[in-house]
Structure 1
Amino acid sequence: MPRVVVFDETGAPDVLHIVDEPVSEPAAGQVRVRIEAIGINRIEQMMRAGAYPRPIRLPRARIGCEGTGVVDAIGAGVEKVSVGDPVVITAVPDMDVNGTYAEFTVVPSSAVLPRPAGVDAPSAAALWVAYSTAYGALVEKAGARAGDQVLITAASSAVGLAAIQVVNQIGGIPLAVTRHAAKKDALLAAGAAAVFATDQDDVVAATRDHTGGAGADIILDAVMGPGLAELATAARFGGTLITVGWLDPRPASMPMNAPLTIYRYMSFEHTLDPAVVRRMAAFLGAGLRIGALRPTIDTVFSLDDIVEAHRHLELGNQIGKIVVTV
C-alpha cells in the first residue's frame, strides 16, 4: 500500500513516522495526485510541534501543505485537469486529513495548477508556498510598486529569497535582513540590493542610511516577537509593515510609530481565492519564463528521511527551501 507520513502526538521531529494507507478514490470535483516532491514549511513544523493555530485531528494526523506530482485519477465533474497532467498543489488547509507528505493525496481540483513547463519536480515543490506568500503579501496586500524600498527579514528563508526576487521583478529595491553576516554574500548573489546582519548591524540605522534617511516603504517581516516595534521604526513616514510568519514565538511588541499601515498576512487568504490564484500563477509563470524567479533549494531529502528533514529545518541554517522527494 502507499506510504503516508503521520504523527500520533505533537512533539519533536521523531514523532513523524511512515505508515501504509489504502489509496482513496477522488469524489466529485476532486483529483488524486501521485506525489513526486514536497516542500517543507515552517507551518508544518508548528503543526507537528503543537503550536498550530487551529485544532488538529490526532492520532494518525497527516501533514504537508505543498507538493507537486502527476494526476492519477479524477472524480466526476472535473474538466480542466486530466489523468497524467503534472500539477502543483496550491492549498491544503486541512492538511491533517490529506497532507502532502505521502505517495498519494486527494484534493479539490481547484487546488491544483499545471506545473510550469521546464520546471522539474524538486523546483516545483519549492515554488508555490514561498512565491505565492511573497507575491500575495507584497503585491496583492501591500501594493508594492516599482521603486519601493522593501526591507525583508529572514531573507535567507524560502519566503525571504522569493520576496527578493519578487521585488526585483516589479522594479523595487530589496533590502535583506539576516541574523548572520556569513550569509551576506549569498543574499547579495540572490539579488538583494543591500544586506543587514543583526549580529553586526543596527538594522534600523542601516535601513535609514541606505534610504537617505527616509526609511523603507514596506517592511516584510517573518519573525515578529518582541523586536517588532523596533523593526517598525525602519519604515518611512506613512509606510507599510506586513507580517508573514512568527519565527519568534514570544509575544510581538506593538509598533507605535504612526502613521504606519500594518497587515497580518496569511497565505490561505489568497490561495483559496480563484481570481487571486490566477494572478499569482500568471506572475509566477512570467517570472519563470524570463528568469526573474528561480526557486532556491537548500537540501533534498527522501521521504524515508522525513525526520531528518524536520531536524534540518529546526536548525534554521538553511538558505532556501528544504525539499523531500517521494
Structure 2
Amino acid sequence: MPGRLRKPTPLKNPDRPYIALGLEGSANKLGSGVIKHAEDGTTSVLSNIRHTYITPPGEGFQPRDTALHHREWALKVINDSLAKADVSIHDVDCICFTKGPGMGAPLQSVALVARTLSLLYGKPLVGVNHCVGHIEMGREITGASNPVVLYVSGGNTQVIAYSRQCYRIFGETLDIAVGNCLDRFARVINLSNDPSPGYNIEQGAKLIRGRRLIPLPYATKGMDISLSGILTSAESYTLDKRFRLDGQPRNAEDTDIITPADLCFSLQETVFAMLVEITERAMAHIGSKEVLIVGGVGCNERLQEMMGVMAEERGGRIFATDERFCIDNGIMIAQAGLLAYRMGQTTPLLKSSCTQRFRTDQVHVTWRA
C-alpha cells in the first residue's frame, strides 16, 4: 500500500526525487514494485504487486515450471505496478532486479525481462542481493536503526548484523533453510500450498484442542542450527501407527494418538526456539537491543511472539512487518537497488547475469556509514 515512511540515510544527489522499478523472481513469487525517494528525504511505496505460482497439495515447485510462470505473468505484473504507482516506465530512474541467490531458471527469466526493459527504454540496471533487499525493506518499514537481523525464508536462514559497510553473518543453517523445512513437512501431511505451506502449518499449530508437544531433536551448534534431523524426525511420526491423518481432535481416552496439529505445533515450537536462541547469542555478542525479523517465515505470528518475549527480557525491542513486505516482493528489490543507485552503483549489461549462490556478506553496503 502507498505510504509515507521514515527518512533514509543521507545519500548522494538528494536534490531531486528518484524512482525505481524493482523486479523479484528468485522463487515462486513474481513481484514488481515502484518506490520513490523524494527531495525531502522521505520514501514512498507507490506500488507492490505480486503473483504466486501455486502447485497442488503434496507437490513442490520445479525451476522450469516456475520460470514459465514468471514469463507468462511478467508483463501483467509490471504493467499493474506502474499503473498503480501512476508512473510511466519513462519516469523510472533505474530498473532493479534480483541477481541472486535463488532458483536459477526463475532468476534468469526475471533478469531477462529487466535487461529487455533496460535496452528498450535506456534505463540503467541495478542487480540486487535478495537477502539485502529483505533487510533494507525491513529497516525502512520498521524504523529499526542497527538491529540484529534474523533472516528466515524458504531458501535462507541467517543471523546477521551490520559492521563496516557489510552485513556480516553470525550464524546460519548448516543444511536446509527453515522455510524449506516447514514446506517439506507440509507436503508430507498433504497441506495445501495456497497461500503457502508455512502459513498452513502455522494455522494447524493454532488448533489448541487436543494439541500436545511431541519431542523432536533440538540442534543448535554455537550460533548455527541444523534442521534436516528435526525434519526427518517429524516425518517419522507420520509413519507411526498412532498417527491419525484425519486431524480430528483426540478423545480423552486417546492419549497415544498423534495428530497433524501435534506435529505442526511441535515442529514450530522446537525450530523457533532454536532460532530465538541463536539470535539472542548474536544480540549478546554485539550488545544490541534490537532484533529485526525479515523473510517469508518472518510473517509467522508465533515466531514474532517468541522473539518478542526474548527481546523484552533483554530490555530490547522486536521489529517485524506483515506479509506485504516479509514475503518476497518487488518493492524490496526497488528499495535496495535505489539505495545503491543513488551511491553511483549500476550493473553493466555484460555483468547482469544471475547467480544461485550470492551470500549476504558479499555485498558492499555503500549507503550505510
Q: Does the alignment reach a TM-score above 0.5?
A: no
TM-score by length of 1: 0.37
Pick 1 or 2: higher relative contact order, CA cutoff 8 A, min separation 6: 2
Q: Which has the higher helix share?
A: 2
Could you say which structure has the larger radius of gyration? 2
TM-score by length of 2: 0.34
Q: Which has the higher strand share?
A: 1
